Amino acid sequence: MRPLLLLFAFLFIYDFCNAQYVRFVDRYDLEVTDTTGTSFTYFEIIREFGQAVKIERFRKDSVKVSESTTLFDSLGNVKGFRKRDLFESGKSEFVYSEDKSKREIEKIRYYESGDVKSQKFFRDGQLVNEAYFDKEGQSISYLESREAIPEDGKEGWTNYMIKNLSYPQAARSARAEGTIIVICLVDKEGNLKDPQIINKGEYHPSLEKEAIMLIEKYPDQFTPAMEDGEVVESFFRFPVRFKLS
């Protein structure tokens, strides 16, 4: 695993900055261009260092929550990527490292004490090895991780869509079709919150409105996501397809 980490060693000490700018994003990583009319969640300081780009992300109160570095080759293709999520204390919470040329990925999650909680290594998309540790540093067998799951799984969500999705008359009259991509927060209790459209403006407005209503009317709770044994908030994407018969 060490060669993968060495790829990024110079990225965090090389300090010749060629360009710098600020970007505002919401909780879904969607860029906010008008900060006067829309509330942003984070602001990012983006620096270009030759063939590398470093992004530091901060909350509105200026607490840093993550930093990432992307390394490009001479053709502009991504060669490597490293991201570090931070606890409020500034210590590492999660580190993701990827070497594109070797097709290797390493994921390390930490306790706030700084001790390693889990470590996973992938090659060619396959898990090669994994290790888990308790707060005392002792090796343990497994810590569960899972994505958020709708009531009765994907089949339950599909059945809900079939029963509740309506084709707006305005879109039908305009012969409008399309797939609306909705993203929302699934909180630790499994509630769906703050649905937003990722591809906003690509299709008829009435289709967008219907897709949001479909999420807002969902009567059940999800099984919340879990990371290394802890229930966590997560984001869930819903493709809502409208097609005239």
- For residue 72, the one-letter residue type is F
Domain count, the chain: 2
Query: 192 lies in a domain?
Result: yes
Query: 147 lies in a domain?
Result: no
Question: 92 and 50 in one domain?
Answer: yes
Question: 160 and 107 in one domain?
Answer: no
Quote the domain boundaries for residue 13. Answer: 2-140
Question: 165 and 119 in one domain?
Answer: no
Question: 113 and 20 in one domain?
Answer: yes
pLDDT at position 39: 81
Could you say which of 115, 140, 165 is where a domain stops?
140
pLDDT at position 173: 96
pLDDT at position 185: 96
pLDDT at position 140: 94
The whole-number mean pLDDT for each consecutive block of 10 residues of the chain, a chain of 245 residues, reads 46 56 92 80 93 95 96 94 97 97 96 96 96 94 92 92 94 96 96 94 96 95 95 95 92
Could you say which of 80, 108, 140 is where a domain stops?
140
Question: 157 and 113 in one domain?
Answer: no
pLDDT at position 81: 98
Question: 107 and 158 in one domain?
Answer: no
